């Protein structure tokens, strides 16, 4: 398994509009979309994509877990 605290950042996607080709890896994954500062659970789910947005609804971080 890997280290649960290890997160893979996709900073190349942050602040940009994603095209459908870039989103293929998200198919079948559980999504958690939240705004910076929201309260979140600390459980680890290897199949979950976490999408963090700022107050302007711009993606600032995409992580897995």
Write down the domain spans for the chain: 21-64
pTM of this prediction? Answer: 0.63
Band (pLDDT 50/70/90 cuts) for residue 7 is very low
Beta bridge partners of 48: 30
* Top-confidence residue, 25 or 30: 30
Structure tokens at 15: 């602040």
Q: Tokens 């290897």 — which residue? A: 46
- Which homologous superfamily is 21-64 in? Trypsin Inhibitor V, subunit A (3.30.10.10)
Which phi and psi (to 5°) does residue 26 adopt? -90, -15
- From its phi and psi, is residue 15 left (phi > 0), alpha (psi between -120 and 50) or beta? left
Band (pLDDT 50/70/90 cuts) for residue 37 is very high
pLDDT at position 35 over 80 = yes
Q: How far apart are CA 54 and CA 52, in angstroms?
A: 7
């Amino acid at each position: 398994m890997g280290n649960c605290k290890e997160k893979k950042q996709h900073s190349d996607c942050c602040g940009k509009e994603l095209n459908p080709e870039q989103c293929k890896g998200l198919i079948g994954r559980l999504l958690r979309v939240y705004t910076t500062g929201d309260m979140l659970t600390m459980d680890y789910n290897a199949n979950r994509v976490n999408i963090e947005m700022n107050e302007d609804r711009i993606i600032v971080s995409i992580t897995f877990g």
